[in-house]
C-alpha cells in the first residue's frame, strides 16, 4: 500500500478530532448528572441550577475554556426518542394569508375558489396556492385577480393595479405568500429562542408552508405546543356594559323558541305525511297538540344555558358553562337574532373570556364592533412585553406601545373613563381582561394584561408578544411527544443492544479469522469512534433508529473485511507467498467492496432525501457508517496487517476450526434454479394473496390519526380497552394493541382527525383518561399527562398525523422505493454494461420486498409486537434493498472476474463456480449481520422491534435471492450462442480496461 504515512496521519487526526468532539458529550452528561443529584428529582430546581452555570466556564481543555452553554452546543444531540420532547410539523394557513392580502374580500368568486382549493388539497400534491389558482381559473368568468375587490386593493396598490392580467398578478402573490411564510418562520424561531430549549431544530419543508420544529428535552409538551400554535392576534376593543344586552337575551330566547317550535312542527308534519295517507284534522291535532307549548322544544333555549350574570355596570353580559359556548355563539350570530339588536349596535362582537383555572364557567362579553371588523387598536403597536406582577401579586403581562399606539391608547382610555365603560384586551379571539379606567386617560403607551395567569402562561405570553404575531394560523398537522422516562428507557435498551451486538461481532471475527480477525476488530473499534465523532461534529441528531443504523453498520462493515480476508485465503490456497497474497487479496476485493457499498449508499441517500425525523437519522448514520467502514477496512486493516507481517509475523486468516470451511465447494446452483423459481413463486403468490385479502396494518403515518402509548400499573386486556374506547360516547372507533409488555398499550384512533388545535388535543386526552380511569388505580389527570423523568404509569408517548400529511408520506414512501430501484438499476447497468445484470438484481429486489410485505401481511394479527407499516418500515424496506443488492453485486463481480480468468469455460460453469466461490463470504456476512439484528431485536426496545423483524426477514430472503434468483434470472435472460459470447467478450474488455 502506497502513502502509509499519510494514512497514519489521517487516522490519528480523525481519531483525535473524534475524541475531542465526543469529550463535550461526556462533560455535558457529567454536569447534567450533577444537576440531577443536586435537585433530588425537582425538575424546576434542576433547571435553575443549570441556568445558574449557563455562562460559567465549566470545561478547560488547556487550549480553551468553554461555558456550559458552549459545551451543550458541541455535545451530541439526542433525538426525541432518546431524550423525550416535542416534534411537530406546522402548516401555516396560506388560505388565511390570501384572505389578509385581499383585505378579507367578500367577492363570491374569490371565496368559492378558496373553498374549492381546500377540497382539492385533500387529494392533491400541489401547494394550496397552486390549487387556489386552478380553482379560481375554473370559475372566474370575467373576474380578475387584479379586481379592486380582491388583490388590487389599498394594501397592495403599489404592486398590483386593476389593469394587470392574472399571469402578472400570480408571481406577486407567490412572493407575498413566501414572505409571509418566512415571517412565520422567524416568529416561531424567536419564540423558541425565548422558550429556552437546548439545541432546537426549526426548518422550512419545501414551499408548501410547512415548518418542522424539533424541541428535544422539553418537559412541558402542552405548553410548548400552545406556544407554537398561538397566533398572538392581540386586539383592544371598547366593551359595552353587560346589562345593555340582558333585554336582548330575553328577546333572543323567545325568538329562538318560536323558530325551533316551527322547525319541529314542520318535521312532525312531514313525518305524518310519510307515515300515513290519512288527513283527518283530529289525527294531526292528536300528534301535534293544540297548544304549541306541548311540543318537545324546551321553553328556554338560551335561558336554560345561563349560569349567572356579571356585576352591575361591568362588561360581562352573562355566564355560561364552557361546554355550551359554541351553542350560545351559534344562537347569537343567527341573522334573525342579530336583527333584534338596535341598528346602532348591530355590529356588536360577542366573545367569551378566559375561564379561571379549574372553573367550568365562562363569561360572555359584548364588544363595540364595526362594519370592517377591525379593532381600534391592534397588537402591532406593542414594542415590548414582559412578565410582571399585579397589585394582588398575581402574574400579569406588562406592555409598551409605540408612539402611534400610545396616542390611540390615550384616546381609548380617556373615552372609557368619561363613559365609565371598559376596554377589552383580546388575544386570539379570547377576552383576557376588560378593565375599567379609574384615573383618566393613560398616556405613554403603557398597558397591562391580567387574566388568572400562571407564571409560565404570563412568561409565554410576554415572549409571544415580543416575538410578534404569526401572519396566519399555524395548525399542527403532525406531532410526536415523547416522555423523558421513555427516552431514558430507549437509551438503556439502545446501549444494551449496541454492546451485545459489538461483543458478538468482535468474538466472531477472532473465532473465524484468528489474529487477522483481531486486527479487523481494532479497525472496527476505530470505525465506531469515527462514526460517533462525525455525528457529533456535524451536529447530527442521534435517534434510536440511528443507533440501529450504527449497529447495522457494524454488522455490514464486517463484510468488507470478510471480502478481503476471503480473497487473501484464496490467494494463499493458490500457493502464493504471504505478502503477495495480502497484496493481491486487497487489490482483488476492492471492486466488490466499492460496488457493494455504493449500492447500499445509494439506497441510504434516497432514504435521507425522502425521510424525516428518526428515519433521516437512520439514513445519516448509515451513510456515515458506510464511509468510515470503507476507510477503516481498506486502509486501517491493511496498515495493521502490513505492520504485523513486516515484523515477521505469520497470518493464516483462519483458525483450526475454520481453515477448510467452505473449501472446494462445487454446487450446481443453476440446476436447482427451477426448484427455486417454484418455491419463490409459491411464496410470492401467498404474499400477493395475503396483501389483497388480508392487507397490511397501516400505521397513522399512512392513514392519519392519533396514537397514544399508555402504560398501566398492572396487565390489561387490549380487546377490553378497544371495546371501551370504541363506544359511541368515547371515540366511536379505536384500536388498542399490546406494545411490548402486557401492561403497555398502543392506542390509535381517528376521532376528530381533521380537527387541529391545542384545545382539541386536550379534549381527546381528557376523554382518553376518563375512559381508562378504571384501569389507572388512583392516577390523577395531571399524573397521567405529566413529563416526570421517573414516570412509570400514564401517557408515555403521543403521535398525531393529519390525513393530508399522511397522504404525502405515503406518496413519498412510494417514490423513495421506486427511486431506489431505478437508481440501482442504472448503476448496475453502468458498472456491468449489460441490462441482464440489472434485470437480475432488480428482479431479486422485487422478490425480496414482496416477500417481506407478505410476511408482515400474513403475521401482523398474531405477532406479540407491533408490525405497523410506517416510515420506519419504509426505512427497513430500503435497507433490505441495499443489503440484497450488496450480496448480488459481490456475486456479479466474481462472475465478471471468472469470465476473464477462465476463457475456455462454458457459460454455466462460470456462473456455478462464481456462486460457489463467494458462498463463504455470503454466509459469513449474512450470519454476522443476522446475529447483530437479533441482538437489537431482542434487547433494542419495543419501538424498533417491528423494524428489526423486517430487516431480519430481508437479510434471510436477500441472501437466498442473490444465490437462487438474481444470478439465475440473469443467466436465463442471456440468449444462447452469440449473446453469451458477446456478454463474455464485453466483460473481459471491461476487466482489461480496469487493469490498464
pLDDT at 101 over 70: yes
**pLDDT tens, 589-615?**
888 788 778 877 887 888 787 766 566
Higher pLDDT, 114 or 882: 114
Q: Which helix H or strand E contains 808, and what residues bound it?
A: helix 803-832
pLDDT for position 633: 85
Longest dimension (CA), the chain: 119
Tens of pLDDT, residues 160-171:
888 888 888 888
- Percent of the chain at pLDDT > 70 equals 87
- Lowest mean per-residue pLDDT among 576-580, 646-650, 864-868, 890-894: 864-868
Give the number of other Cβ atoms within 10 Å of residue 179's Cβ.
12
Q: What is the pLDDT of residue 684?
A: 94
Mean pLDDT of 28-56: 80
pLDDT of residue 978 exceeding 60, the answer is no
Query: Residue 913, SS3?
Result: helix
**What is the reported pLDDT for 467?**
60
pLDDT 10s digits, 940-952: 766 678 888 888 8
Q: What is the pLDDT of residue 294?
A: 35
Share of residues in the chain with pLDDT > 90 (%): 4
Mean pLDDT of 487-499: 72
Give tens-digit pLDDT for 197-215.
666 777 777 767 788 887 7
Q: Contact 640/527 with Cβ under 8 angstroms?
A: no
pLDDT at 364: 92
**Rounded distance, CA 872 to CA 618, Å?**
9
Reported as a single tens digit per residue, the pLDDT across 134-148 is 999 889 888 888 888
Closest among 373, 272, 249 to 318, alpha carbons compared: 249
State the distance between the two ends of the chain, measured CA to CA, in whole angstroms. 18
pLDDT band at 551 (very low <50, low <70, confident <90, very high): low
Q: What is the mean pLDDT of residues 714-720?
A: 84
pLDDT band for position 678 (cuts 50, 70, 90): very high
896-922 pLDDT tens trace: 888 777 777 888 888 888 888 888 878
pLDDT on residue 680 = 93
Span 327-331, average pLDDT: 89
Where do the domains of the chain lie, and which CATH numbers do they carry? 4-75 (no CATH), 92-198 (no CATH), 238-469 (3.30.1360.200), 483-694+807-995 (1.20.1640.10), 705-799 (no CATH)
**pLDDT of amino acid 186:** 76
* Confidence band, pLDDT 50/70/90 cuts, at residue 787: low
pLDDT of 299 > 80? The answer is no
Average pLDDT over the chain reads: 80
Give the pLDDT score at 688: 93
- Burial label for 909, CB within 10 Å (0-12, 13-18, 19+), is middle
In total, the chain counts a number of residues equal to 996
pLDDT at 259: 84
**Strands of 794-801's sheet in order across:** 201-205, 210-216, 85-92, 474-482, 794-801, 705-711, 744-749, 734-738
CA within 13 Å, CB half, 118: 12
pLDDT at 858: 92
Amino acid at each position: 500500500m502506497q502513502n502509509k504515512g499519510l494514512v497514519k496521519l489521517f487516522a490519528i487526526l480523525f481519531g483525535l478530532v473524534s475524541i475531542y468532539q465526543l469529550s463535550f458529550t461526556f462533560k455535558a452528561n457529567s454536569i447534567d448528572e450533577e444537576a440531577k443529584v443536586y435537585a433530588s428529582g425537582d425538575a424546576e430546581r434542576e433547571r435553575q441550577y443549570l441556568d445558574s452555570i449557563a455562562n460559567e466556564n465549566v470545561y478547560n481543555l488547556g487550549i480553551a475554556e468553554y461555558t456550559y452553554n458552549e459545551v451543550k452546543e458541541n455535545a451530541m444531540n439526542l433525538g426525541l426518542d432518546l431524550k423525550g420532547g416535542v416534534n411537530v410539523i406546522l402548516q401555516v394557513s396560506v388560505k388565511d394569508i390570501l384572505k389578509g392580502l385581499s383585505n378579507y374580500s367578500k367577492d363570491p368568486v374569490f371565496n368559492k375558489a378558496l373553498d374549492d382549493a381546500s377540497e382539492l388539497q385533500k387529494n392533491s400534491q400541489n401547494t394550496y396556492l397552486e390549487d387556489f389558482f386552478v380553482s379560481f381559473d375554473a370559475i372566474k368568468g370575467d373576474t380578475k385577480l387584479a379586481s379592486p375587490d380582491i388583490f388590487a386593493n389599498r394594501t397592495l396598490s403599489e404592486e398590483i393595479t386593476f389593469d394587470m392580467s392574472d399571469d402578472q398578478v400570480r408571481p406577486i402573490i407567490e412572493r407575498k405568500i413566501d414572505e409571509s411564510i418566512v415571517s412565520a418562520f422567524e416568529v416561531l424561531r424567536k419564540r423558541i429562542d425565548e422558550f429556552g430549549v437546548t439545541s432546537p431544530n426549526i426548518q422550512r419543508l419545501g414551499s408548501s408552508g410547512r415548518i418542522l420544529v424539533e424541541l428535544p428535552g422539553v418537559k412541558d409538551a402542552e405548553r410548548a405546543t400552545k406556544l407554537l400554535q398561538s397566533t398572538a392576534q392581540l386586539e383592544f376593543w371598547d366593551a359595552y356594559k353587560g346589562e345593555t344586552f340582558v333585554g336582548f337575551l330575553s328577546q333572543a330566547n323567545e325568538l329562538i323558541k318560536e323558530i325551533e317550535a316551527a322547525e319541529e312542527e314542520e318535521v312532525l308534519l312531514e313525518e305524518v305525511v310519510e307515515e300515513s295517507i290519512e288527513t283527518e284534522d283530529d289525527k294531526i291535532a292528536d300528534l301535534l297538540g293544540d297548544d304549541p307549548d306541548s311540543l318537545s322544544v324546551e321553553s328556554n333555549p338560551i335561558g336554560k344555558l345561563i349560569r349567572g350574570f356579571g356585576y352591575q355596570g361591568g362588561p360581562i353580559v352573562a355566564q355560561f358553562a364552557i361546554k355550551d359556548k359554541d351553542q350560545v355563539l351559534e344562537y347569537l350570530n343567527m341573522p334573525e337574532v342579530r336583527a333584534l339588536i338596535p341598528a346602532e349596535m348591530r355590529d356588536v362582537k360577542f366573545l367569551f373570556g378566559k375561564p379561571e383555572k379549574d372553573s367550568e364557567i365562562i363569561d360572555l362579553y359584548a364588544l363595540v364592533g364595526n362594519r370592517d371588523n377591525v379593532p381600534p387598536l391592534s397588537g402591532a403597536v406593542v414594542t415590548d412585553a414582559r412578565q410582571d406582577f399585579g397589585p394582588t401579586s398575581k402574574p400579569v403581562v406588562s406592555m409598551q406601545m409605540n408612539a402611534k399606539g400610545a396616542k390611540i391608547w390615550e384616546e381609548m382610555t380617556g373615552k372609557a373613563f368619561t363613559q365609565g365603560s371598559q376596554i377589552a384586551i383580546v388575544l386570539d379571539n379570547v377576552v383576557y381582561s376588560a378593565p375599567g379606567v379609574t384615573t383618566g386617560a393613560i398616556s405613554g403607551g403603557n398597558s397591562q394584561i391580567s387574566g388568572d395567569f400562571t407564571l409560565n402562561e404570563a412568561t409565554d405570553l410576554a415572549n409571544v408578544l415580543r416575538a410578534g404575531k404569526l401572519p396566519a394560523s399555524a395548525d399542527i398537522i403532525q406531532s410526536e411527544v415523547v416522555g423523558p422516562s421513555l427516552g431514558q428507557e430507549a437509551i438503556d435498551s439502545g446501549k444494551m443492544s449496541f454492546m451485545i451486538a459489538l461483543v458478538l461481532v468482535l468474538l466472531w471475527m477472532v473465532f473465524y479469522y484468528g489474529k487477522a480477525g483481531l486486527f479487523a476488530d481494532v479497525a472496527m473499534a476505530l470505525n465506531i469512534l469515527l462514526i460517533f465523532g462525525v455525528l457529533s461534529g456535524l451536529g447530527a441528531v442521534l435517534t434510536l433508529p440511528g443507533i440501529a443504523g450504527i449497529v447495522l453498520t457494524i454488522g455490514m462493515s464486517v463484510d468488507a473485511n470478510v471480502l478481503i480476508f476471503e480473497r487473501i485465503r484464496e490467494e494463499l490456497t493458490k500457493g502464493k507467498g504471504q505478502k503477495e497474497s495480502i497484496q493481491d487479496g486487497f487489490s482483488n476485493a476492492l471492486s466488490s467492496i466499492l460496488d457493494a457499498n455504493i449500492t447500499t449508499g445509494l439506497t441510504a441517500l434516497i432514504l435521507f432525501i425522502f425521510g424525516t425525523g428518526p428515519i433521516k437519522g437512520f439514513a445519516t448514520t448509515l451513510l456515515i457508517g458506510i464511509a468510515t467502514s470503507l476507510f477503516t477496512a481498506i486502509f486501517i486493516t491493511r496498515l495493521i496487517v502490513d505492520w504485523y507481517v513486516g515484523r515477521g509475523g505469520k497470518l493464516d486468516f483462519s483458525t483450526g476450526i475454520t481453515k477448510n470451511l467452505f473449501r472446494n465447494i462445487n454446487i450446481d446452483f443453476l440446476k436447482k434454479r427451477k426448484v427455486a423459481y417454484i418455491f419463490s413463486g409459491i411464496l410470492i403468490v401467498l404474499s400477493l394473496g395475503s396483501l389483497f385479502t388480508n392487507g397490511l396494518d397501516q400505521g397513522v403515518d399512512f392513514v392519519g390519526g392519533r396514537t397514544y402509548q399508555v402504560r398501566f400499573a398492572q396487565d390489561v386486556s387490549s380487546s377490553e380497552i378497544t371495546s371501551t374506547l370504541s363506544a359511541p360516547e368515547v371515540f366511536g372507533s379505536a384500536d388498542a394493541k399490546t406494545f411490548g409488555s402486557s401492561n403497555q398499550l398502543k392506542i390509535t384512533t381517528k376521532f376528530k382527525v381533521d380537527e387541529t388545535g391545542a384545545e382539541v388535543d386536550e379534549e381527546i386526552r381528557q376523554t382518553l383518561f376518563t375512559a381508562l380511569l378504571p384501569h389507572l388505580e388512583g392516577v390523577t389527570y395531571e399524573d397521567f399527562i405529566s413529563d416526570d423523568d421517573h414516570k412509570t404509569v400514564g401517557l408515555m408517548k403521543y403521535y398525531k398525523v393529519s390525513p393530508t400529511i399522511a397522504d404525502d408520506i405515503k406518496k413519498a414512501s412510494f417514490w423513495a422505493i421506486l427511486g431506489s430501484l431505478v437508481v440501482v438499476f442504472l448503476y448496475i447497468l453502468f458498472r456491468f454494461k449489460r441490462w441482464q445484470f440489472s434485470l437480475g438484481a432488480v428482479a431479486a429486489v422485487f422478490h425480496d420486498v414482496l416477500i417481506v410485505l407478505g410476511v408482515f401481511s400474513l403475521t401482523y394479527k398474531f405477532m406479540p409486537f407491533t408490525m405497523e407499516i410506517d416510515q420506519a418500515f419504509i426505512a427497513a424496506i430500503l435497507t433490505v434493498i441495499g443489503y440484497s443488492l450488496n450480496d448480488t453485486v459481490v456475486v456479479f463481480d466474481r462472475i465478471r472476474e471468472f469470465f476473464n480468468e477462465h476463457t475456455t469455460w462454458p457459460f454455466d460453469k462460470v456462473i456455478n463456480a462464481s456462486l460457489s466461490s463467494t458462498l463463504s463470504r455470503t454466509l459469513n456476512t449474512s450470519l454476522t449481520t443476522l446475529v447483530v439484528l437479533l441482538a437489537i431485536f431482542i434487547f433494542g426496545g419495543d419501538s424498533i422491534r417491528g423494524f428489526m423483524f423486517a430487516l431480519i426477514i430481508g437479510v434471510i430472503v436477500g441472501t437466498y435471492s442473490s444465490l437462487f434468483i438474481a444470478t439465475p434470472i440473469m443467466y436465463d435472460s442471456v440468449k444462447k450462442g452469440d449473446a453469451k459470447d458477446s456478454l463474455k467478450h464485453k466483460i473481459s474488455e471491461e476487466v482489461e480496461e480496469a487493469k490498464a
